[in-house]
A and B are shown apart, each in its own frame.
Chain A
Amino acid sequence: MKRSADAVVIGAGVIGAATGYYLARSGLKVLVLERDFPCAGSTGRCIGGIRAQFSHDLTIRVMMESVRLFRGLGDELGEDVEWYQGGYLFLAFDEKRKQAFLDAIAIQKKYGLDVRFVSPDECEKIAPGLDPTGLVGGAYCPTDGQANPFKVTYGYLEGIKRLGGGLVVGCEVNQVNRQGDKLISVTDAKGDEYACDMLLNAAGCWADEVGEMAGVKVPVKADRHESLVTEAVERVFDPMLVDYRSDGCYFVQHSGTGHFIGCYTPVPLVPGHNVDATDEFITEMPRRMVRLVPKLAGVKVLRQWAGSYEMSPDGNPICGGTPLRGFHVSSGMSGHGFMFAPALGKLMAEQMVEGRASIPLDEFFLSRSFGKAEAMK
Chain B
Amino acid sequence: MKKSKVQRPKSKVRRPVRNRTSPIANRQFAVVVCRCEEVTEAEVRGVVRTGYHSLEAVKRVLRTGMGHCQGRGCLRLIARIIQEETGIPASEQKMPRPRPPLKPLPLGLLGSHKDEA
Chain A positions within 8 Å of B, measured between CB atoms, are 36-40, 44, 150, 154, 158, 167, 169, 229-234, 236, 257-258, 277, 279, 282-291, 295-305
Q: Which of B1-44 contact A (CB under 8 A)?
A: 8-16, 19
CA distance A305 to B97 in the complex (A): 9
28 A–B pairs (Cβ distance < 8 Å), ordered by A: A36-B56, A37-B52, A37-B56, A37-B57, A154-B60, A231-B68, A258-B19, A277-B99, A282-B100, A287-B112, A287-B113, A290-B107, A291-B111, A295-B12, A296-B108, A297-B9, A297-B107, A297-B111, A298-B11, A300-B105, A300-B106, A301-B105, A302-B68, A303-B100, A303-B101, A304-B99, A304-B101, A305-B97
A302 and B61 form a contact (CB under 8 A): no
B70 and A302 form a contact (CB under 8 A): yes
B19 and A234 form a contact (CB under 8 A): no
CA distance A305 to B96 in the complex (A): 12
A282 and B108 form a contact (CB under 8 A): no
> Which residue of chain A has the shortest Cβ distance to B51 in the bound complex?
A167
Chain B positions within 8 Å of A, measured between CB atoms, are 8-16, 19, 50-54, 56-57, 60-61, 63, 66-68, 70, 97, 99-101, 104-114
With A44-B60, A287-B114 as contacts: A236 and B13 at CB distance below 8 Å:
yes
What residues on B are CB-neighbors of A257 within 8 Å? 19, 63
Given contacts A229-B66, A257-B63, A296-B107, 14 further A-B contacts (CB under 8 A): A37-B56, A37-B57, A154-B61, A230-B107, A231-B104, A232-B16, A283-B110, A286-B111, A287-B112, A297-B9, A297-B106, A301-B107, A302-B66, A302-B68
B110 and A232 form a contact (CB under 8 A): no
B60 and A39 form a contact (CB under 8 A): yes
Set B13, B63, B70, B104: member contacting A296, Cβ < 8 A: B13
Of A279, A285, A297, most buried by chain B (CB within 10 Å of CB) is A297
